[in-house]
Chain A
Amino acid sequence: MPVSKLFIIGNLTVPSSWIALLLGFLISYVAIRALFGKSDSDRVADAFFWHVLVWKLSVLLTDFSSVLANPLSIIYFHGGTIGFFLGLAVAFMKLLWDYRKGLFGMSMLVTAWIMAQTVFQIAMAVLNPGDAFGRWTTVVIFTLFFVIYWLKRTTLSAGQWLLLSAAVHLFGAAFQPEGVVNIAFIVTVVVCLALGILFRTIPRSEEIA
């Protein structure tokens, strides 16, 4: 869903997408905490923290001359889309490292991802005024997927859920005003591919739950 709402909180202007990202993270954190325990949910919090930190500091890379001219730019600005994906990459690297050490399982990552993805989509649809059709279909499709995942979590493998999450997003995006070519869908594709590759390079366990 395109951002059509800016929230003015104190002396900051916060785009709806940031609220949606925060909600996605929060629900993801709570879900992992409930299902897998504190140590796993701490990894989720860690990943989110690193993502946001790198995204913010990436302004040094995307606009070094502005930061040089005015160091306060680090506080006021961020690295944009490039910074967002850089943050995602760094968070993923950290997770990869810990996963290799066997500190958590595939299903934890997949659960965290699907929680974040579905809640983000639903939040974006709720928060942004505009195309009613796109908003309603998004809420229905992703809420259904959210519920189905909770009920049937153990019936599919992690990799199968990843594939489904990408297909569901493709389907949902078709109804949205921006269509399929938007950053959220690109993120879904990137994350599903990255996690999929990650799962294939580590010797497969039969772990499902």
Chain B
Amino acid sequence: MNKKTLGSIVAILVIGAMVVMMVKSKLDKPEAIVLSAADQKLLEEMDSLPGLKQGEIPPDFELTTLSGEMVRLSDMKGKKVVLNFWGSWCPPCKAEMPHMQNYYKKNAKKDNVEILAVNLTTGETKGIPAVEQFVDAYGLTFPIPLDESGDLAQQYQVMIIPTTYFIGTDGVIAHRYVGAMDEKMLKNLVKGMK
């Protein structure tokens, strides 16, 4: 192939790219991620752990927070909910808390996000004082619902902590994230949901 032919091919590709982009911008409407039946099956096979899946409606719940208030999931409809499950004994939970707090302080209001950090109180060997100590030490200002019976963790199939469910304004699960999240990850996950 000589230089001229290569040059023509490159030119065609570049012009083609511009044409496609132009046509796309005229035609495109923002598209929701719609899962086909085949995609759904693939997603289910690839997840190695049980857990509530993308697209499901999570169970409603009502819990008392550390500060004594009642919080109900259905009251949050219309907001994006970051439902985090944690325990004070868990190292990755400790690692991610400052990032969650930073995000909450800086962006939660304008992103229409509420963070509910559900503490798995059944696993707290030193009880609620340990939770209070943790929250004070990290200066956490988001609500800390207490799962004192262990029922919520079971309903949400939380086997490993931290696990975080991202629930959209439509009340449906957008993502499930297992493991520590830093601020950047949190921002991206919030951006990626309705």
Residues B17 and A5 in contact, CB atoms below 8 Å apart: no
Chain B residue with Cβ nearest A141: B13
**Cross-chain pairs A/B with CB under 8 angstroms, 19 sampled:** A4-B33, A8-B48, A8-B49, A12-B179, A13-B178, A66-B98, A70-B95, A70-B98, A72-B91, A129-B39, A163-B6, A163-B10, A164-B10, A168-B13, A170-B13, A171-B16, A173-B17, A174-B16, A174-B21
Q: Is the interface of B mostly helix, strand, loop or mixed?
A: helix
**What size tier do the contact residues of chain A reach?**
35 or more
A7 to B48, CA, bound (A): 8
Chain A residue with Cβ nearest B164: A13
State whether the Cβ of A179 lies closer than 8 Å to any Cβ in chain B. yes
Residues of chain A contacted by B10 (CB below 8 angstroms): 163-164, 167
A5 to B44, CA, bound (A): 11
A174 to B28, CA, bound (A): 13
Residues of chain A contacted by B36 (CB below 8 angstroms): 129, 132
Nearest-Cβ distance from residue B67 to partner chain A, whole angstroms: 25
Chain B residue with Cβ nearest A156: B1
Chain A 1-16 interface mask (CB, 8 Å, partner B; 1/0): 0001111111111000
Residues of B within 8 A of A (CB-CB), count: 41
Residues A66 and B182 in contact, CB atoms below 8 Å apart: yes
Contact among B6, B95, B177 for A76, CB-based, below 8 A: B95
Nearest-Cβ distance from residue A175 to partner chain B, whole angstroms: 6
A135 to B135, CA, bound (A): 45
Nearest-Cβ distance from residue A68 to partner chain B, whole angstroms: 11
Chain B 19-42 interface mask (CB, 8 Å, partner A; 1/0): 011001000000101011001001
State whether the Cβ of A37 lies closer than 8 Å to any Cβ in chain B. no
A171 to B10, CA, bound (A): 10
Nearest-Cβ distance from residue A196 to partner chain B, whole angstroms: 14
Chain B residue with Cβ nearest A11: B160
Residues of chain A contacted by B14 (CB below 8 angstroms): 167, 170-171
Residues of chain A contacted by B96 (CB below 8 angstroms): 76
Nearest-Cβ distance from residue A128 to partner chain B, whole angstroms: 9
Residues A174 and B20 in contact, CB atoms below 8 Å apart: yes
Chain A residue with Cβ nearest B51: A8
Q: Known contacts being A7-B46, A13-B177, A156-B1, is A72 close to B17, with CB within 8 Å? A: no
Residues A164 and B6 in contact, CB atoms below 8 Å apart: yes
Residues A131 and B31 in contact, CB atoms below 8 Å apart: yes
Interface residue ranges of A168-185 to B (CB < 8 Å): 168, 170-171, 173-175, 177, 179-180
Nearest-Cβ distance from residue B52 to partner chain A, whole angstroms: 12
Residues of chain A contacted by B46 (CB below 8 angstroms): 5, 7
State whether the Cβ of A69 lies closer than 8 Å to any Cβ in chain B. yes
Interface residue ranges of A78-120 to B (CB < 8 Å): 80
Nearest-Cβ distance from residue A192 to partner chain B, whole angstroms: 12
Interface residue ranges of B94-142 to A (CB < 8 Å): 94-96, 98-99
A116 to B33, CA, bound (A): 27
Residues of chain B contacted by A80 (CB below 8 angstroms): 184
Residues A77 and B180 in contact, CB atoms below 8 Å apart: yes
Nearest-Cβ distance from residue B2 to partner chain A, whole angstroms: 10
A80 to B10, CA, bound (A): 33
A11 to B91, CA, bound (A): 13
